[in-house]
Chain A
């Protein structure tokens, strides 16, 4: 039996970024815009196997005809999510309008399931009952929770995962950022280690952003949970190549996390796992004009380890603080602070020897203004501090100050102009090596790589979203960046263009092309570790892809994409090393990557969901006359996952990861060697199985408690990496997790 479906808020027009506030007057908040209006009843059956009350929030895309073209779960649990999304696809709306013209829109839609009385349920076989007035209530009269103004179409050539889906992915531990490795185009370095190649681009060329703020690294201690509480993350977008002009300064892929919009009603969640505990809470103030969010995670592995190995110290923690306040219905100021701290060390004679130590902090102060007619502007100032341990109590630091402005303006119903500019100052420092042999080339190399300096980059970007026809969208754009570092400077001009053409309503062709630039980068992203070698030029990549997307029956979808990337002047020490990375940090290489990506999926948040992603690729590097496969080139990479709601709030899932072997590294050990082979010996293939089992209980109207058991690499598979002949080159990583989660 349904009790109600409430249209929460509506609005959302064309691609955009600005967010208004719950209490903002709805249609009038964006002048001239009228949100979609539900036509008829929103009848949703209470699902079989369900128990208790449940709340599902959907993101529903309504096209210009009023038809629902997509319904994704933003929050909720099975089996209610599947039932709600399936039902929502049958809804009919009066389309949103701007100045009287129909436009596409995305709305957030809440469906409240209330468990029917048993007798009634049996009598009616759980036939739905509409809560009087609720579904057809005019949108503006519904209890407003959130206004979410965003694009009606996702960018071409982006893979998106939302939290509701990711938390069901075995081996991801509920972290949206960890789920990236399951997407096509992503090639892992080592199983369990969340650093990866993206279409042949090394980890150091993959940029991480959270709400548009650059993040130096994503995972605690390199392989642990992500440094941002999952409860903050609404979705994660992976741009494999040819990405929008607003992203730049990375020659590989872009991982962009978007935080959930501020919510004035009190909500919270917490988790306790074997190795850490986390919590997040948010509430409103000033009658909902303002919101405050506090979250974080703390690892107590140090205490556990002290019982097992007293000399080992392992500590990690992170925090997130967000405050926002609507000065007027069209003006909002926000501050978002977050950071993380990681420490792995060994204590000897009372002295802590740090083996791995990093920390970073960011504060982003934003001002958003809505000009009306979907024209928005965001100005922001970002401050940051990064620090990592180099060696022997030497730290590399980066003090960051930046400012940016982003503007979006629909010129007409079919043309939207977006643009922005920013400047970023990185003041790098390397603490003095008090106790180092001045002749040590290793110490000198560190000093050359990470000298004290100021890097400054200023750039601008713009693109135009052109709805050429109802079937064809083209987004041409470009960005220009001027980099300066240590007296050197370099100008980068990067044109981009992407297009999506709907051959039929269910079949689309997607193209993306772009030229991307990046200053020299380190092997993997670490706070404060940015090499100084701008004099040898920028890294460059020319990224191309062409693919087809198909909507399949039963809410399934599939895509197949061909890609080819060309790399120039890369600092890919990992991909070109012969086992002597110390010699390769500043070695420049050329390269290319080509392949095919296939993705077939049904949302894991459905009662039965899963996906298969497959990547066939070849990534080559060349240095001088040498041409050889990248050190982590893997011909075949397969990820397959399946999740099923067992009923009685039990849910089980499994995931298979398979990939063929990387080339066997042959370290030179300093020898002068002939050119490397183009077809080297390879390590054997690897597979692993991850499993996840969850039991949930309802608590009150919207509270949930869940016990989650999860194992990454339940098969205890060992992986062979690195050099042949080294005794310890089998690399087994098995991570078990048992935790309790709760939220309301």
Chain B
């Protein structure tokens, strides 16, 4: 099974469980945060999730997937913030330079950008 499919199935299960817990008749909106350095693509998660939610109370819900730009803490200069994009790598996707944007140190710790988070749902 592709890991994107597996992830979407887990998200779908949680949405349905939450719907049952709150006696929802419909789920109207689903909000997800997806880190740009995770190995999942927005399209992949959305497609599989919509498949999982067919014929459930969440069918037809609006799925909002917000992509999260990677942020890091620099162990050298204590900078905390977004990493710089690295178009110079010319690899055809958005990739981020694994260095501190302020002092160029590679001794950084990623604090955002690898998540795959179900943040909230709206229900009736």
Asked whether A and B interact, the reply is: no
